[in-house]
Structure 1
Amino acid sequence: MRKTVRCAASAAAGLLALSSLTACANDAASSTAGSGRSGGGKGEHVKIMVGGLDKVIYLPAMLTQRLGYFDDEGLDVELLSEPAGVQAETALVSGQVQGAVGFYDHTLDLQVKGKNVQSVVQFSHAPGEVEVVSNKAADKITSPKDFKGKKLGVTGLGSSTDFLTKYLAVKNGVKVSEFSPVAVGAGPTFIAALERGSIDGGMTTDPTVATILEKKAGKVLVDMRTPEGSQEALGGPYPSSSLYMQTDWVDSHKETVQKLANAFVRTLRWMSTHSADEIAAKMPADYSQGNKTLYAEAIKSTLPMFTEDGVMPANGPETVEKVLKTFKPEIRNGNVDLNKTYTTEFVEKAAG
């Protein structure tokens, strides 16, 4: 049974310092009636903040809901949405939610800040990110070597798009201080900034990328939606979208975490055996923004980034650490214990 998601007003009020909850599927009003949560109030209630529910890179969160797999595990999962992964991270460490769906790199960043957080299901082995440039700037920006003096869009300052943009710059001889990152979110706000010239280019994901190309508003500069693209740009597999949680909570709620892992691994397997069109058909209607064909194409372009089993890819954590060390002195000078940033305990049991 297809379910709906509610952006709870009470949760938004509780986040205080965070921006208000957004993009939580307008489909909720027109889809199957219910509480807005997976189990309609039945089962253990778990709140998960997603760094953009309608982003294809985080598709497994909503898809698991729509497939009814949380229900099957006896969980009442409430999915909430923030426009950037860094805000999902903040919601998690402040205790407003029990889990976050965002980039794995936040676990390293948080560890050096004294916060113990770990990925429990690794959705991906590539970033799923694309660096695009506006048509006006395309002749001036032909590679990251040309980032100097440019305004580059990211979802939010301190976000994973911010991290990866800085890495591409530094790797190509441009200092972090020599370009301007601009927080423009994703979707319509990113596209508007690109068209207005508020940014010369930027890093974003599908379906934003697909829309930019269809509108001929920009061109692809660096494509990291596949393992091959990740290897070329970053030098190895780059585990990105994941379910990560505070380690103390994981240790004290192992049964619940196992149920979440069971549901997500089941979804990843389902994705690996179904077409982009079939996946798109399961998602909320509003996610296609009126163009079902384009939305399915966006999913098809991004599908290679996903794992089939939720397991952390070999050498993935090392690649992420290498990238972060390039521009983050606290990572470079710190002593990150990568073994504490993820666990395969739950996905291995789910696979079994």
Structure 2
Amino acid sequence: MRSKFRIPAAVLSGVLALATLTGCGGDSGSGASGGQVKIMVGGLDKVIYLPAMLTQKLGYFKEEGLDVQLLTEPAGVQATTSLVSGDVQGVVGFYDHTLDLQVKGKQVESVVQFSHAPGEVEVVSNKAAAELTSPKNFKGKKLGVTGLGSSTDFLTKYLGVNAGVSTKEFSTVAVGAGQTFISALEQGSIEGGMTTDPTVAQILDKKIGKVLIDMRTPEGSQQALGGPYPSSSLYMNTEWVNGHKETVQKLANAFVKTLRWMDSHTPEEIAAKMPADYAQGGKELYAESIKSTLPMFTTDGVMPAGGPETVERVLKAFNPNLKNADVDLEKTYTSEFVKKVK
């Protein structure tokens, strides 16, 4: 899936600085100094990124001889910044950032695809529910997203544009996830917004909002976006992947084991493996949020057929940087490593 490419000097210097820091000219089976690989997650407690912490808890990284340090940022766009700057070797975030980065001259690729649906939900506050019944009503509204330039921002803009509402006719507001999103909805700072579980489950439990569009399943993705929408993934700088194939294979082994484990266990069993503080709404509600989101996950880490094309179409509908750009989709992902998992 990958081929030779050129990257800007600023990005190249970041990669070289990282290579110096890690002392890895080739691959000795470790991702960084002392065998440590740093992975930034766009919200460790979000169910859509559950495989990251679950892999750690199941001990699969250690089984592969890896010392993985999981870091967290509230939004995927911030996690991407950490990758480009060379602070981390990988990101668990939305695949769509690989397309956005490519047109900006940065070559990044998904190496394990966790999902074939966004796992996102557009919710509306009870106060605004009567007038905000579909994306056609986005005009004049303030809609919450995790961060500007994040995947929730991308998808919100697409839903509006696809319904005939210009991105200039409504506002996306960065409110994060969890309690900050809930507070913004309660206080009326936003009329609606896009978020994930467990935030969705808490909003419904508190009876402060309703589901407007549900994209936690392949069927929901098809209905809202017109096809499979690969989202949560492990993506890395292509240059780093090419120089550390043994490490990347070990990461793929660990994550695919986790996806298979998730497929054969109940939401309650999955919840029991996660940190207790992730279940802020209680154990039962947390397990319910996992149950609602499980359909989005793949069982093999392979990019779903037609998925990259759907993502490209969605992004080009509203993103001026991508609209007239030629995107080489084959350079945005690889199934080389997941297909080798035994």
Same fold (TM over 0.5): yes
Shift of 1:42: 10
Gaps in structure 1 of 5+ consecutive residues = 1-38
Q: Is the 8 A contact 1:42 1:75 kept in 2?
A: no
Q: Is the 8 A contact 1:42 1:74 kept in 2?
A: no
Query: In structure 1, how many angstroms separate the alpha carbons of the residues matched to 2:139 and 2:59?
Result: 48
112, 124, 130: which is aligned to 1:121?
112
Helix, strand or coil for the counterpart of 2:49?
helix
Query: In structure 1, how many angstroms separate the alpha carbons of the residues matched to 2:320 and 2:184?
Result: 30
Structure 1 ranges of 4+ moved more than 2 A: none
Query: In structure 1, how many angstroms separate the alpha carbons of the residues matched to 2:320 and 2:166?
Result: 14
Give RMSD over aligned pairs: 1.2
1:246 aligns with 2:230: no
194, 202, 205: which is aligned to 1:214?
205
Query: In structure 2, how many angstroms separate the alpha carbons of the residues matched to 1:338 and 1:307?
Result: 20
How big is each residue's C-alpha offset from its partner over 1:34-61, in whole Å with a ceiling of 9 and x where there is no partner?
A: xxxxx9x996100000000000000000
Gaps in structure 2 of 5+ consecutive residues = 1-29
Query: In structure 1, how many angstroms separate the alpha carbons of the residues matched to 2:216 and 2:268?
Result: 18
Match of 2:38 in 1: 47
- Tell me the TM-score normalized by structure 2: 0.90
Query: In structure 1, how many angstroms separate the alpha carbons of the residues matched to 2:74 and 2:175?
Result: 10
What is the aligned-residue identity percentage? 79
Match of 2:248 in 1: 257
Match of 1:157 in 2: 148
The residue identity in structure 2 corresponding to 1:278 is E
Query: In structure 1, how many angstroms separate the alpha carbons of the residues matched to 2:69 and 2:137?
Result: 43
Aligned ranges for residues 281-300 of structure 1 at < 5 Å? 281-289=272-280, 291-300=282-291
- Tell me the TM-score normalized by structure 1: 0.88
Match of 1:273 in 2: 264
Query: In structure 1, how many angstroms separate the alpha carbons of the residues matched to 2:51 and 2:34?
Result: 21
How big is each residue's C-alpha offset from its partner over 1:319-347, in whole Å with a ceiling of 9 and x where there is no partner?
A: 00000000012211111000000000000
Query: In structure 2, how many angstroms separate the alpha carbons of the residues matched to 1:190 and 1:88?
Result: 19
Match of 2:174 in 1: 183
Aligned ranges for residues 1-352 of structure 1 at < 5 Å? 44-289=35-280, 291-350=282-341, 352=342
The residue identity in structure 2 corresponding to 1:89 is T
Query: In structure 1, how many angstroms separate the alpha carbons of the residues matched to 2:122 and 2:281?
Result: 25
How big is each residue's C-alpha offset from its partner over 1:55-109, in whole Å with a ceiling of 9 and x where there is no partner?
A: 0000000000000000000000000000000000000000000000000000000
Query: In structure 2, how many angstroms separate the alpha carbons of the residues matched to 1:42 and 1:302?
Result: 36
Query: In structure 2, how many angstroms separate the alpha carbons of the residues matched to 1:328 and 1:192?
Result: 29
Query: In structure 2, how many angstroms separate the alpha carbons of the residues matched to 1:158 and 1:45?
Result: 29
- Equivalences, count: 312
Helix, strand or coil for the counterpart of 2:337?
helix
